[in-house]
């Protein structure tokens, strides 16, 4: 997969891309990320990429000309663009289902907003999807872009050491993940549940399913309401096993 990220503050993005799963995904050739400095496409001697909003008001707005020029440069790469995503607080809220969908794309372009946002004409003509990582406001779209890239990268074939790891993450089937434990089995008098030491994989999976249902009911009951009734019945049946 190829991802192009457009940013007025590219160094926020570049450093994180070299670490952990994102770094390994690129070294393995499963992920290709290109970060574009918006100031490289400004035409004035000050490399200005923002200006005051028409009609007054607080904050600055990213200008359309540098963004349009950057998009023109990106399109020179022959690979077709599947999705152009603007990271913005008023976009659709990111979910695991959206991440799963995007992980099947071949090429994605992400525009990281900054200041008060971007000129609406860019949103109207260039953007195919607008995504928010939550109902709160950050200083810019660079961190949301990293969140989205990271979430997608872990689903790409060959990125995680254990191919099944991502499939058991929270939200993959609308349930939160079960508690996890590691050595030692007794830490300051707190012991790992006996079932996890039993070696009985059927009982362990039944215990994990029950724990996932219980945690979801306690912390995120709204997720249960979105589950298909058949899946919910199966999950409840597992809990009683």
For 201-218, the pLDDT digits (tens) are 999 999 999 999 999 999
d(CA 88, CA 115): 11
Q: pLDDT for 10-42, tens place per residue?
A: 999 998 999 999 999 999 999 999 999 999 999
Give the pLDDT band of residue 228 (cuts 50, 70, 90).
low
d(CA 129, CA 91): 8
- Highest mean pLDDT of the ranges 116-130, 158-172, 221-235: 116-130
Torsion of CA 78, 84, 85, 91, to 10 degrees: -170
In the numeric block, the tokens 């670490």 are attached to 19
Residue 200: its pLDDT value, please?
A: 97
Q: pLDDT for 60-114, tens place per residue?
A: 999 999 999 999 999 998 789 999 999 999 999 999 999 999 999 999 999 999 8
Residue 239: its pLDDT value, please?
A: 44
In the numeric block, the tokens 């997720």 are attached to 223
Calculate the alpha carbon distances from 23 to 19, 74, 139, 149, 159 in Å: 5, 22, 25, 11, 10
For 177, residues 6+ apart whose C-beta sits below 8 A from its C-beta are 168, 169, 170, 212, 215
Residue 149: its pLDDT value, please?
A: 97
Domains and CATH numbers, the chain: 2-153 (3.40.1280.10), 170-239 (1.10.1270.20)
Residue 240: its pLDDT value, please?
A: 40
Residue 166: its pLDDT value, please?
A: 55
User: What tokens does 56 get?
Assistant: 């007054």
Residue 241: its pLDDT value, please?
A: 37
Q: pLDDT for 157-208, tens place per residue?
A: 989 865 555 555 555 667 898 999 999 999 999 999 999 999 999 999 999 9
Residue 174: its pLDDT value, please?
A: 78
Residue 120: its pLDDT value, please?
A: 96
Residue 238: its pLDDT value, please?
A: 47
Break the chain down into helix, strand, coil percent, rounded to 5: 40, 20, 40
- What is the tally of helices (H) and strands (E) in the chain? 9, 9
């Amino acid at each position: 997969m190829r991802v192009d990220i457009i940013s007025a503050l590219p160094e926020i993005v570049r450093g994180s891309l070299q670490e952990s799963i994102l770094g390994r995904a690129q070294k393995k050739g499963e992920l290709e990320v290109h970060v574009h400095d918006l100031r490289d496409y400004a035409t004035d001697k000050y490399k200005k990429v923002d200006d005051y909003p028409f009609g007054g008001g607080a904050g600055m707005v990213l200008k359309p000309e540098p963004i349009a020029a950057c998009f023109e440069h990106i399109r020179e790469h022959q690979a077709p663009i599947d999705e152009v995503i603007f990271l913005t607080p008023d976009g659709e809220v990111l979910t695991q289902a959206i991440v799963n969908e995007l992980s099947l794309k071949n090429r994605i372009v992400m525009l990281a907003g900054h200041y008060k946002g971007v000129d609406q004409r860019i949103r109207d003509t260039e953007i195919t999807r607008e995504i928010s990582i939550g109902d709160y406001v950050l200083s810019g779209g660079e961190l949301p872009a990293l969140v989205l890239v990271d979430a997608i990268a872990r689903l790409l074939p060959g990125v995680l050491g254990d191919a099944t790891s991502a499939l058991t993450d929270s939200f993959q089937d609308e349930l939160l993940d079960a508690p996890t434990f590691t050595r030692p089995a007794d830490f300051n008098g707190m012991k790992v549940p006996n079932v996890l030491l039993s070696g009985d994989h059927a009982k362990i999976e039944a215990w994990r399913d029950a724990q996932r249902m219980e945690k979801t009911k306690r912390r995120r009951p709204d997720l249960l309401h979105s589950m298909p009734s058949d899946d919910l019945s199966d999950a409840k049946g597992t809990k009683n096993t």
